[in-house]
Each structure stands twice: as C-alpha cells, then as structure tokens.
Chain A
Amino acid sequence: MSTAIDPLEIEALARIMDELDYYQLLNVAPQANSADIRKAYHSSCRSFHPDANRTLPDDLREHCGRISKRITEAYCVLRDTRRRKAYDAKRGENDGASTLRIQIAEARNAHVEARKSECRGATTQGRQFHAKAESDMKAGNFSGAIQNLQMALTFEPANDGFKRVVAELKGRQKAGNRD
C-alpha cells in the first residue's frame, strides 16, 4: 500500500500530538457535525492506519501507530454525543497544562460508582449496618454479619449488593457446617 503522507509531517504530528485536542487532531472545527467527524477520521486513517504504512521504515511506522491509536480515540469520543459533551466540558475548563484527552470508558464510571455505593449502602442506616456486618466478618462472625446485613436490607430492600453478600455468607456457613 502506498502512503501519500510526507515523513516530515508524520514526525511533526507525532511530536506535537499530545498538545492537540481531539478536534485539532482530526483537523475539524469544534462545531463539526458527526458526518464531518467521520469523514475526517477516514481521511486520517488513510494516512496513519497500520495497513497504510507497511512499507515505511520502523521508526515512522511506530509514529504512525501512535497517531493512529490517538485518532481512533478522538473519533470514539467525538462520534458519541454523551462522550463528546463530557469532552467539550473538560476542554472548556482546560488550563492548557494538562493533556486534552478523556477516557473513552469514562461514561461508565458513574455506573461503577453507583455499584460501589450499592455495595456499601445508599442510606445512612444501610451503611451503618453494613459497617457492622463488615466488622463481624472480620471477626469471623458470619451469622452476626448476616443479621446485620438483613437489617441493612430492611432499609434498602432493593440493594442487590447486600443480597449477594447474604447469599454468599449463607453458602459459606453451610459449607462450614459440612466440614
């Protein structure tokens, strides 16, 4: 496959890549619509995708590889309304010191946080009983832990995290009795 791109351009882009935001990287305006973004992604891929650079010397291929991965990242964020919104907000706050990237899986983090709170309890009482259950478990007092978790469940009847733990503790108790 032939590549039309100038080696100097590759080197330059590899050097300044970290200072570019996703729009600059894809060479589109911040107002660009999704069709423009997609077009820009395709055109960047033509230059930097690994398949387009098989014949280049190793060092240039490596540069292209790095650029290609960053281009994909930019596309992933900008093509998705939710992610793009989050990115635009972050970009607006940016002081110029930090890199202009976000995690593409960041949107899921909120979800993870929710799960963590599910594990620890979402209400004051739920958290209290859950903390007691934790100390019970540390002390090896499984039945105490179960009781406390069941109390926690009366405040958070829909807390699947608590339910899972109770079920597991009961299983463990049974297994213990068998031994």
Chain B
Amino acid sequence: MAEIAVGIDLGTSNTCVSMMQDGQVKVLDNAYGERTSASVVHFHDDGSVEVGNSAKAKGIHAPAQTVSSAKRLIGRYHFSEEVKKAQAVYAYEVVEAANHGVRIEVREEEFSLPEISAMVLREMKQIAERHAGESVTKAVITVPAYFNDNQRQATKDAGRIAGLEVLRILNEPTAAALAYGFGMGLNQRVAVYDLGGGTFDISVLEIGKDIFEVLSTCGDTFLGGDDFDDRIVDLLADEFVGRFGINPRNDPYAYEKLKLAAENAKKALSVDEETRVAIDDVMKNDAGEALGLERTITRAEFAQLTQDLVMRTFKVCDEALQQSDLTVRDLDGVILVGGPTRLPIIREAVAHYFQQEPRVDVDPDEVVSMGAAIHAASLVGEAQDSMLLDVTPLDLRIGVAGGLAEPVIERNTPVPIEQTRTFTTFQDHQESVQIRVYQGDHRQAEDNTLLGQFEFSGFEKGLRSDVRIDVTFEIDADGLVNVAAADQRTGEAASTRIALSSGLAEQEIEKIIERDLAGRVATGVAAEKAAGEQIQPIAVAGEEPSAATAKVAVDADSPFGDGNEDLSTGREEELDLDGLDVEDAEFDLVDDEELRQLTQEAGDDFLDQDITLDVPAGADASEGFFETSVTNLSGTDLDLTEDEK
C-alpha cells in the first residue's frame, strides 16, 4: 500500500500542508477551503483549543489567550532578545522555565513552544487525514535555513508531540527550489529569496537535473513580514498618541486592533497605490468615549517606512553570494518565497538587486510546503528521486580556554558531516572535562548560542600531556548536532553520544505526549476549574491508532472538536508511546557545587594558559546547569592540544 507522507511548512504567521497524489503535488485546504491556516492557537475558557484562521480572529477579543508567532520563540533561551521583544509585543504571557527555557502561560497553564507548535501541526495532520481518508503519520517539516540546532530540535520535538514521524527537517529555501525545479531537468544556478512572517533566508543553489545542491545560505531570524507590519503599527500608534495623548500600545486590545489594521493595510498596498485605515474604536478614554483613527497610507510612504528592512535583506544576500563565490550575474533565476514577497516594493527591490525579474509562478505562500511534500513522497518511495544536498548555516564551535569558541565545522559546510578534534585536560590528573558546544560566528564563546554542554570523565586520568580526548561533532542531514567524547588511548567505548539540549528533556517530551494522549481532554488547571462541565478534547484527533483515525477521516467535517474526535480514555492509554520509544539520552548533570569548584579552579589557572579575566562571576550558579554554563563561559577545562600528527 502506498505510504502517505506529507510536507508541512510551519510558518511564523501561516502554516500550509501539501501532499503528493497521483504524481501531482497538491496543497491541501482546510475544512473552510483555506489553503493556508494561521499559525495561531486560541485557548477557550473551557480548556479546549482552536487553531488556524478562526483562532486568529479570536485574538482581537482575547489576546492573552491567543498565541501567535510561536516560531519566533521556539528553541530560544529566555534571556534572548527575541523573547524580550515578544514580551513587549504579545499579550500572552511569556515566562521562564528551568534551564532558561521559555514557556507560554495561558489561563494559568504553562506550555512549551514545541507544544504550541504541535497543536498547529496536529491541525495540519488532521487536514491531511481528511484528504487522504486515512491516518497520516509521516511528514517532512520545513524550518528557516538559518535555524540553529536548538530551533531545529524543538521543531522536531513539536512534530513528535503532534504524533508525526518527522522524516526530515528541511530548509525552507531548499524546499522551494525543489518545488520549482522538480522533474524539470534544469541546469541552473538560482537564488531563493525567502522572506517569511518572522524570518529571512537566502539560499544559493545549483540545480543539476535531480540534484539540488545548496552552495551557501544566509539569514536573519529576526527579520520578517511582521516587522513590516510593526512599522505601520508604529505609524498608527504615534498618530494616535499625537491626537489623543494616550498610548494604545499599553492596551493589548487596542494593540491587536492596530496590528490587524496594519496587516490589512500592508496587503492592500500590494494591490493599490494607497489605502485608508479607519478604526472606529481603537480604545476608550477615561470618560468612556470611543477614540477612533483614520489615516491614509500611500505605497511610497510605506516604502520609506520599511526601506531599512529591505536593505537589511540585501546585506544578507551579499554575504550569501560572497560565500558561494558568485555574483548576481551568475544566477539564472531568483525565486520568491513567503507572503511578504507579494509586496511590490519588495519585488521591485529584488528585481533591481538581482538585475532580473524574480520568478513568481508558484504561490509564495505554498511553494515551501509543496517542496516539502515532494521530498516526503520521494523519501517513502512515492515520487521520483531527487537529491537535496544542504549545508549547515552556522559555525559549530567548541568552548576552549580563555572564554573562546573554536570553530570545528564552518558554516556552509555540506551535511551530513562529522569531524573529530583531539583535546587534553586543563590540568594534570583532572577528573573530568566540561564540553561546551556552540553555534554562531563569534570567537567569544558567550556571543554564540550555547547548544549544550556535558561532562566527560570516562578517560584514563593522567598528566595533561598524556590525556587525549577525541571529541566528535556530527551534523546530520536534518542539520541537527550530536557530540560524543572518547578516550583516544584506550579507545574504550567510554564514548557517550549525547544529543544536545533542545530545551525540552527527553522525559519532558514523553510526559507531554503521555499527557496529550491520556489527559488532553481535560488538562491541568483547565480540567480542575471546569470540572463537571462538558469539556471538548483539544483538536487532536491526530494522535491515534488507525482505527480511530478512520473515524476522524470520515466524520471530521467540522474542523474543531465537535466531539467526533472524542477518543475514549481507554483507547488513549492503549496507545501508549508506541513507536515513540527513544533511548534515554539523559544529561549527566554536573553537581552545581562541583562545577563551581571546577570553574573556580579553572578560573584561577587561566592565567597560565591564555589571558582571560573572566573570573567566574557565576559563583551564584545555583539554578540549573544552563545558569551555570552561561555565567561561567570562561570556566573551560579543555585546552586544545598542539597538533597531533
């Protein structure tokens, strides 16, 4: 029987699912006939959840219970800029979890970002099942090419939580190129200009018939269509302040209205030369009078407001071209991806920069999911072969003495790849070493993203000149990083392969899946509060054995939990975690006291090695191990050995 595997473009603003059927790639519409669904999750008062465009519409009335743009936060640390920005902009609560993780708090219940994204993915799974008429459990999910390991891992976790086997984490521009070039026998060099809701990627590819080789990729995960909306929001908000002396930014409801108006204005300006924004009731003043706003925005004005954002994308393009040793003249085509590339100001600027008209024959909102579907089908043998040879977007580095991070695998290196480096201990008779792995382009360790760290003690202790520890770094075809350490001399299998931190520990993921399977009908606080009330299951028919799926496929005409998906608790438990069994890859957490000690020693000894004055300010390393690692970046016990051979 044909195996079904779908392609899902999990976007910041919108999500789209496609599938190969009878040799044709089809974008699957939802129950409302919409081909993309807003990546928005709305939490109802009764604890049930709604996903998609209708959920987005509810955001105006209940912004604090409506989570949008989760992709901007997925795989980030709580202390990151993006999280601070989100806290300022979004009405929903963004709170800190252990290990500097991020949680969304809605109605007194905390959700991790992968859980939120899983709700969106489940919706896609359901849409696909409605079209396929059977269970869909395999998917290729796309991510921005510039996503780091933490973000990729978190996205993969989201897939698992949604009950999907993630066949491949695929880069969005690569997927788009595949959708363009699949089966065409092209021999071309192309650039994919991918401006999404929250991220920007540029990839340069060489297409040789069925081989799609990425030559370079560059990006900015802080730049997207949302930023263009924000410029209009600011314009409107400033105008409002000027007129009434009240700042609508401080009122979440008013802010939501401005955001929606801005988005509509932006879309209108794709078609018209000017548009009029008119909101009757932005907010009420102290006297209870409704204060409205009217404003005409011209395309020229919008272009001026966003000029710097457009220029920023071209700086990234410069870098990508430079990395691939090409100029715009070497390119045979430019492919536009992402909703914002519909904007005439962007199309014109792109045409000018690349000195050619960009190709727009495939819908920029759908092209990525189509490419993902083609690859998914080819992975399960349902479509003609095509090879995607991708690269890693960021330098992979290891922390060494002096607070520095040494590159081991440079950005734009093809994947999968593996590299082994040899290290020795910092001191004689050292008991263990801390191995810290980073991604980023900076020499100073702390300027990069920490992917994770682990302690290795399985080596033969001795003089530092004798100890040889091989650290092996692997980046797989998903762009995910694995690091293992082994004693070179004994060659012992003292090696422990450790998947680095994803923010969610393995046990946490299992717990979430279990909770979803067994208890999502009425979870946590929501359940207790609403005890006795009729509570609908979260819209998650997806989770199930095929028997239940068949039912969903037949019955689920209504998109959001009309009770049809009601899986009996008994059945849910039966499901257990079949097929999701993952080896127990736990971190051996370092005892805080021990680590502090180690760090202190290392700190004292730095001056022998390398000059560094990062005396561990992290003496308050008391919280989790990330706390420690972040403040103690200098406390590295490893030093590169001189050349081996």
Q: A-side interface residues toward B, CB under 8 Å?
A: 1-2, 42, 45-46, 49-52, 54-55, 65-66, 68-70, 72-73, 75-76, 98, 103-105, 108, 112, 115-116, 119-120, 130, 134, 137-138, 161, 165, 168-169, 172
| Contact, CB under 8 Å: B410 / A104 | yes
Q: Which residues of B contact A46 (CB under 8 A)?
A: 385, 387
Q: Contact check, B389 vs A134: say whether CB atoms are below 8 A apart.
A: no
Chain A-chain B contacts (Cβ-Cβ < 8 Å), number? 93
Asked if B476 lies at the interface with its beta carbon under 8 angstroms from chain A, I say yes
Q: Is B20 an interface position by the 8 A CB rule?
A: no
C-alpha gap A49/B418 in the complex (Å): 14
| Contact indicator B413/A108 (Cβ below 8 Å) | no
Complex CA gap A100/B68 in Å reads 51
Q: A115-B443, A138-B607 are in contact. Are A104 and B419 (CB under 8 A)?
A: yes
> When the two chains form their complex, are residues B421 and A45 in contact, meaning their CB atoms are under 8 A apart?
no
Contacts of A65 in B (CB 8 A): 416
Query: With the chains together, A143 CA to B415 CA distance in Å?
Result: 49
Residues 443-479 of chain B, each 1 if its beta carbon lies under 8 Å from chain A, else 0: 1000000000000000000000000000000101100
Q: A75-B414, A76-B413 are in contact. Are A165 and B613 (CB under 8 A)?
A: yes
Q: With an 8 A cutoff between CB atoms, is B109 at the interface?
A: no
Q: Is the CB of A76 within 8 A of B417?
A: yes
Interface range on chain B (Cβ under 8 Å from partner): 35 or more
Q: Which of B388, B408, B409, B421 contacts A51 (CB 8 A)?
A: B388
A50 x B477 contact (CB < 8 A): yes
Residue interface mask B371-387, A partner, CB < 8 A = 1: 00001001111000101
Query: Hey, which chain B residues are within 8 Å of A50, CB to CB?
Result: 416, 476-477
**Structural contact, A172 and B613, CB atoms closer than 8 A:** yes
- Look across to chain A and name the residue whose beta carbon is closest to the beta carbon of B614: A168
Interface class of chain A by DSSP = helix
Give 1 or 0 for each of B395-412: 1 = CB within 8 Å of chain A CB.
Answer: 000000010101111100
**Quick check: is B211 within 8 A (CB to CB) of the other chain?**
yes
Looking at the complex, which one of A98, A116, A169 makes contact with B613 (CB distance below 8 Å)? A169
Q: Which of B379, B388, B443, B607 is A134 in contact with, Cβ under 8 Å? A: B607
Residues of B within 8 A of A (CB): 167-168, 208, 211, 213, 375, 378-381, 385, 387-389, 402, 404, 406-410, 413-419, 421, 443, 474, 476-477, 607, 610-611, 613, 645
Q: Which residue of A lies closest to B415 (CB)?
A: A72
With the chains together, A165 CA to B387 CA distance in Å? 49
Asked whether, in the complex, the Cβ of A168 is within 8 Å of the Cβ of B213, the reply is no
| Interchain CB contact under 8 A, A1 and B379 | yes
Q: Determine the chain A residues whose CB is within 8 A of the CB of B409 once the complex forms.
A: 104-105
Contact A52 B607 (CB under 8 A): no
Contact of B419 among A98, A105, A130, A134 (CB under 8 A): A105
> Once the chains are docked, how many angstroms separate the CA of A50 from the CA of B167?
11
Given A72-B417, A104-B410, A105-B419, output 20 extra A-B contacts at Cβ < 8 Å: A1-B379, A49-B389, A50-B416, A50-B477, A51-B375, A51-B388, A52-B387, A54-B380, A55-B381, A66-B418, A69-B417, A72-B414, A75-B414, A76-B413, A103-B419, A103-B421, A119-B610, A137-B607, A137-B613, A138-B607
Residue of B nearest to A97 (CB): B645
The reply to whether A105 and B407 contact each other, CB–CB distance below 8 Å, is: yes
What are 29 of the A-B contact pairs (CB < 8 Å)? A1-B378, A1-B385, A42-B211, A46-B387, A49-B416, A49-B477, A50-B416, A51-B387, A51-B388, A54-B167, A54-B380, A55-B381, A68-B416, A70-B418, A72-B416, A73-B418, A76-B414, A76-B417, A103-B408, A103-B421, A105-B410, A105-B419, A108-B410, A115-B404, A119-B610, A130-B611, A134-B607, A169-B613, A172-B613
Contacts of A161 in B (CB 8 A): 611
Known: A42-B213, A69-B416, A108-B410. Is A98-B610 also a contact (CB below 8 A)? Answer: no
Q: What CA separation (Å) do A161 and B613 show in the bound complex?
A: 12
Determine the residue in chain B with the shortest Cβ distance to A46.
Answer: B387
For residue B381, which residues in chain A have a CB less than 8 angstroms away from its CB? 1-2, 55
By a CB distance below 8 angstroms, the chain B residues around A130 are: 611
Report the nearest B residue to A103, measured CB to CB: B419
Complex Cα spacing A144 to B412, Å: 45
CB distance from B66 to the nearest CB of A (A): 38
Residues of A within 8 A of B211 (CB): 42, 45
Q: Which residue of B lies closest to A108 (CB)?
A: B407
Across the interface, name the chain B residue whose C-beta is closest to A1: B385
A108 / chain B contacts, CB cutoff of 8 Å: 407, 410
Inter-chain contact B387/A42, CB cutoff 8 Å: yes
> Contacts of A68 on B, CB cut-off 8 Å?
416
Across the interface, do B379 and A54 meet the contact criterion of CB distance under 8 Å? Answer: yes
* Chain B hits for A72, CB < 8 A: 413-417
CA distance A55 to B607 in the complex (A): 54
In Å, the complex CA distance between A119 and B444 comes to 13
What are the residues of chain B within 8 A of A75 when measuring CB–CB? 414
CA–CA, A137 to B417, complex, Å? 42
Closest to B444 in A: A164
**Which residues of chain B have C-beta atoms less than 8 A from A112's C-beta?**
406
Complex Cα spacing A100 to B415, Å: 20
Cβ of B417 to closest chain A Cβ, rounded Å: 5
Q: Judging by beta carbons under 8 Å apart, are B613 and A104 in contact?
A: no
CB distance from A91 to the nearest CB of B (A): 13
In the assembled complex, the CB of A46 is this many whole angstroms from the nearest CB of chain B, namely 6
Instruction: Report A-chain residues with C-beta under 8 Å of the C-beta of B418.
Output: 66, 69-70, 73
A residues in contact with B406, CB < 8 Å: 112
A168 to B168 Cα, complex, angstroms: 45
- Distance in angstroms from B276 CB to nearest chain A CB is 51
A75 to B409, CA, bound (A): 14
Cα distance, A119 to B409, chains bound together (Å): 24
User: Can you name the residue of chain A whose Cβ is closest to the Cβ of B418?
Assistant: A69
Give the distance to chain A from B119, nearest Cβ to Cβ, in Å. Answer: 28
Query: Within the complex, what minimum Cβ distance (angstroms) separates B612 from chain A?
Result: 8
Contact across chains for A69 and B407 when beta carbons are under 8 A apart: no
How far is A67 from B596 in the complex, measured between Cα atoms in Å?
41
Give bound CA distance, A103 to B470, whole Å. Answer: 13
B-chain residues with CB within 8 Å of residue A52 when the two chains form the complex: 385, 387
Cα–Cα, bound, A69→B475 (Å)? 9
Q: Which residues of B contact A169 (CB under 8 A)?
A: 613
Given A105-B410, A108-B410, A119–B476 Cβ distance below 8 Å? no
Nearest CB in chain A to that of B478: its residue: A50
List the 7 shortest-distance A-B pairs measured between CB atoms, nearest first.
A69-B418, A72-B417, A50-B477, A72-B414, A168-B613, A119-B611, A134-B607
Residues of B within 8 A of A165 (CB): 611, 613
* Shortest Cβ distance from A75 into B: residue: B414
CB distance from B388 to the nearest CB of A (A): 7
Whole-angstrom distance between the alpha carbons of A169 and B208 in the complex? 56
Q: Are A134 and B387 in contact (CB under 8 A)?
A: no
Residues of A within 8 Å of B645, CB to CB, are 98
Residues from chain A with Cβ under 8 Å of B414 in the complex: 72, 75-76
